[in-house]
Chain A
Amino acid sequence: MAGSNPNAKPMNLTLKVWRQPNRQTEGSIVDYQVKDISPDMSFLEMLDVLNEDLLHKGQDPVAFDHDCREGICGSCDLFINGRSHGPEKGTTTCQLHMRKFSDGDTITIEPWRANAFPVNKDLSVDRSAFDRIIQAGGYVSVNTGGAPDGNEIPIPKEISDRAFEAATCIGCGACVAACKNASAMLFVSAKVSQLALLPQGQVEAKTRVENMVAQMDIEGFGACSNIGSCAAECPVGISLENIAILNREFLTAKATSNNLA
């Protein structure tokens, strides 16, 4: 086969996988062996191999979240050897390849650990808290139709590029899993900054940041202590600068609030 490295040797690995039948039942780590793993496989393809093997043996395959397998949908969410999305910087679990591991390795695989992300089953967690934070204000209130011509809102390229950088957040929750307080500040700040930077977001800037931060607290995410493990572990490089923008926006909003709610 046309692997990129034909000389790479297949690997045998020990997996320590979190198994939990459902939210109500306690979980535990279970050991599995996988054999003949190609270094060109993605991490999730390695789990596919494990699951096919389990199914053949009549055992319950390991449930995990995944979909696009190209690093953009934000579904995959594995905590690998104590790190969000595993050892490679700037990479989602689905884009992590087995060439980053060695023959004989033991790999521990857990779900995101946060009160706001309860486990559905095994490695799959419920991240609907993120959706509710966006519903609290992560939008510009424009109905379909009636928008002015796109070029009637000129935006300096540097501003637009910065807004884009913030907007590339994939909503995977790696930041929460990486934080010792399970804080969602990086996620919330990415959306707040995107819209705070753009002229379209100005009208609702104050209510937006207040409402989103309030919802974040309701969901039970922890406080930010500015250590920065969120940004260090973010697979798409969302910058810590966004948290500074969020704090500034939040203070300004609180000081000059026109939020009548």
Chain B
Amino acid sequence: MVLNSKAPEGPLAEKWDKHKFNVKLVNPANKRKYDVIVVGTGLAGAAAAASLAELGYNVKAFTYHDSPRRAHSIAAQGGINAAKNYQNDGDSVFRLFYDTIKGGDYRAREANVYRLAQVSVNIIDQCVAQGVPFAREYGGLLANRSFGGAQVSRTFYARGQTGQQLLLGAYSALSRQIAYGKVKMYTRSEMLDVVVVDGQARGIITRNLVTGEVQTHAAHAVVLATGGYGNVFYLSTNAMYCNATAAWRAHKKGAYFANPCFTQIHPTCIPVSGDYQSKLTLMSESLRNDGRVWVPKTVALAERVRKGELKPQDIQEDDRDYFLERKYPAFGNLVPRDVASRNAKQMCDEGRGVGSSGLAVYLDFADVIKRTSAEAVSQKYGNLFEMYEKITDENPYQMPMRIYPAVHYTMGGLWVDYNLQTTVPGLYATGECNFSDHGANRLGASALMQGLADGYFVIPYTIGDYLAATPPKPVTTDHPAFAEAKAGVQARVEQLLSIKGNRTPDEFHKKLGHLMWEYCGMARNAEGLKYAKAEIAKLRKEFWQDVKVVGSGEEMNQALEKAGRVADFIELGELMVDDALDRNESCGGHFREEYATEDGEAMRRDDEYAYVAAWEYMGENQPERLNKEELVFENVKLTQRSYK
């Protein structure tokens, strides 16, 4: 299949306006004749469900949580970018576009990214109107802060809880439409398959997580807003329930999966403390505005720190290596995430890591506390410091934080065209669940921007183009494809329950996570990837012979839920490895050790790899087929990223 991005022709700045004029419209009286399913109620899903309902469509929204307010968007800390140029520091739509393309290491589609930068300004306006309490200056106007990969201050925030406030804004808009009866909300309902009728997405199969009932739902179009797949790695900053199942089932029904190996490792997370660890906690990138990253200059000193003979405060200024400031004087501690993570790993690999495991570097606030005050620091980062202390039992006002990189975000996802439609007509993917805007590395404060852009300002326009061409006849679940998909879901539940093996879903998940982190994590090479591929295939086989789940499918059964998700993670993990093997270059979060410059920076190979790798499912136990969308850059010059 030839991948057509459907990006409009014409000058970059005019594409979106032109496209909005050219797409077909559904007349206001006809909108109520169309049903749209939205799966997931995080920023992208809640914003889409509310906005589509406001337009007049009948929306059915689904979440596996007990409430739409719990989606993991809520945990985003630092902020949301927008090209408002309120700071008078030279920001513009084009600069945000440029920073995002460059930050993504030139592996994103220009037209999408420009549109994202354009609508970023509308997002802030919308959220303010909803009553989102963004941080403000004493004059009453909105405040900004800086984030990595940018030299302007364009990040809007609500202390360290920006995601929470934005999600509660979208949740309030969604709640209003639920009250009006325009959105029918299904909570504790997990999507387990997409129903495709005559080549078009026509509904979904869900399982009620309290009663176990498997249900069918029909609609004229289906929008997935189901988040990323970082939990393939077992340990990540994602919430415990975050999973790839909805996206993976869509993939198996014909939606191509793009750039699965593009995963983001966030540099500033609280290090692992033990085998029992269930998740990792992020310390916001905004901390790098004021915190200074360092390790001891020598291995000998680092060893004494690890043994507990020396405290960080005992190490003299001259004996510290502020490695990011040293290597990247222009951006200093605010280099993009992939660069910061790789450098931290390099320091630890050299034997200069701290903490008793040696897998940590310091993030030190002593300077800013001296320059301003502990109160001033608390105003900015209070809740983060408290969270750090609760988890580690150490006070970051007195001791530098210990941080280490952890899996945080996935740039890859379902392939979508400019309309956010997947390769299955009528099936859309929004937010982190698609691959579209961040290339090989996402800049800080851009995930919230993309989720809300897709939900509030893109899908409400583009879905009309598809629906206008669909007859406004009622849709039902009568077609045999529904019964077939439902039977498939039920059979899989039964199969998981019938294996009665010896290993728990968590044990398989941990094993998978370990393989992915070791061989498909911060640094990858062909040999390791090939090894991982074989091991994952083995693991998949073992899973279906030896997984242990008790109880029945007709009740609340959290181990059963987990088992289904782990089965999908294993298959996706294999595809991630395939993708990482195919991409014989380093770019953004994908660092292949064979392709590095002399000073250890990522070496892209634009001649051969300036494409989106869109993988096509070919059936059980068949290798997936690679389809390529060539990336064309007409508005930026491809250069080796330099933050020096």
Chain A residues with a Cβ under 8 A of chain B: 1-6, 21-22, 38, 40-42, 44-45, 48-49, 51-52, 55-56, 58-61, 63, 65-75, 91, 95, 97, 99, 120-121, 124, 126-128, 130-131, 134-136, 138-145, 147-151, 153-157, 160-161, 163-164, 167-168, 170-171, 194-195, 198, 200-201
Contact (A134, B172) CB under 8 Å given A41-B276, A65-B66: yes
Contact (A198, B360) CB under 8 Å given A72-B164, A131-B175: no
* Cβ-based interface call for B122 (8 A): yes
Using Cβ atoms and an 8 Å threshold, which residues of chain B touch A68?
70, 72, 74-75, 239-240
| CB–CB A121/B210 < 8 A | yes
From B178, B241, B276, B550, A45 is in contact (CB under 8 Å) with: B276
From A1, A2, A63, A160, B136 is in contact (CB under 8 Å) with: A160
Residue of A nearest to B161 (CB): A168
From B72, B124, B136, B185, A155 is in contact (CB under 8 Å) with: B136
Using Cβ atoms and an 8 Å threshold, which residues of chain B touch A120?
210, 556
Chain B residues with a Cβ under 8 A of chain A: 47, 50-51, 54, 65-72, 74-75, 84, 86, 122, 124-131, 133-142, 158-159, 161, 164-165, 168, 171-173, 175-176, 178-179, 185, 187, 210, 239-241, 271-279, 281-282, 308, 355-357, 359-360, 387, 390-394, 402, 456-457, 460, 502, 504, 506-507, 548-551, 555-556, 558-559
Inter-chain CA distance A48–B178, complex, in Å, is: 35
From A6, A67, A142, B240 is in contact (CB under 8 Å) with: A67
Contact (A67, B173) CB under 8 Å given A45-B277, A59-B550, A160-B136: no
20 contacts between A and B (CB under 8 A): A2-B402, A38-B276, A45-B277, A55-B549, A63-B556, A67-B72, A68-B72, A68-B74, A68-B239, A70-B75, A74-B70, A97-B390, A97-B391, A97-B393, A127-B66, A130-B67, A142-B130, A149-B125, A150-B124, A195-B131
Using Cβ atoms and an 8 Å threshold, which residues of chain A touch B175?
131, 134-135, 138-139
| CB–CB A72/B276 < 8 A | no
Contact (A55, B550) CB under 8 Å given A5-B393, A128-B66, A167-B165: yes
| CB–CB A48/B164 < 8 A | no
Q: Is the interface of A mostly helix, strand, loop or mixed?
A: loop
Using Cβ atoms and an 8 Å threshold, which residues of chain B touch A131?
67-69, 175, 178, 185, 187
| CB–CB A144/B457 < 8 A | yes
Inter-chain CA distance A95–B75, complex, in Å, is: 14
Using Cβ atoms and an 8 Å threshold, which residues of chain A touch B159?
164
| CB–CB B131/A200 < 8 A | yes
User: Min CB distance, A78 to chain B, in Å?
Assistant: 15
From B140, B360, B460, B558, A154 is in contact (CB under 8 Å) with: B140
| CB–CB A72/B75 < 8 A | yes
User: Min CB distance, B88 to chain A, in Å?
Assistant: 12
Using Cβ atoms and an 8 Å threshold, which residues of chain A touch B179?
135-136
Residue of B nearest to A121 (CB): B556
Contact (A150, B460) CB under 8 Å given A2-B356, A171-B67: no
15 additional contacts, CB 8 Å, given A3-B356, A68-B74, A69-B278? Answer: A41-B274, A41-B276, A68-B72, A95-B387, A126-B66, A134-B175, A138-B175, A140-B129, A140-B131, A144-B456, A151-B142, A156-B136, A161-B133, A164-B158, A170-B164
From B47, B187, B394, B456, A128 is in contact (CB under 8 Å) with: B187
Using Cβ atoms and an 8 Å threshold, which residues of chain B touch A168?
161, 164
Using Cβ atoms and an 8 Å threshold, which residues of chain B touch A128?
66-67, 187
Using Cβ atoms and an 8 Å threshold, which residues of chain A touch B551?
60
| CB–CB B125/A1 < 8 A | no
| CB–CB B66/A75 < 8 A | yes
Inter-chain CA distance A36–B188, complex, in Å, is: 34
Residue of A nearest to B86 (CB): A151
Inter-chain CA distance A180–B55, complex, in Å, is: 44
Using Cβ atoms and an 8 Å threshold, which residues of chain A touch B164?
72, 168, 170
| CB–CB A138/B172 < 8 A | yes
User: Min CB distance, A44 to chain B, in Å?
Assistant: 7
| CB–CB A171/B274 < 8 A | no
| CB–CB A198/B54 < 8 A | no
User: Min CB distance, B283 to chain A, in Å?
Assistant: 10
Residue of B nearest to A21 (CB): B555
| CB–CB A69/B279 < 8 A | yes
| CB–CB A61/B559 < 8 A | yes
Using Cβ atoms and an 8 Å threshold, which residues of chain B touch A67?
65, 70, 72, 239-241
Inter-chain CA distance A56–B546, complex, in Å, is: 12
User: Min CB distance, A191 to chain B, in Å?
Assistant: 9
Residue of A nearest to B52 (CB): A144
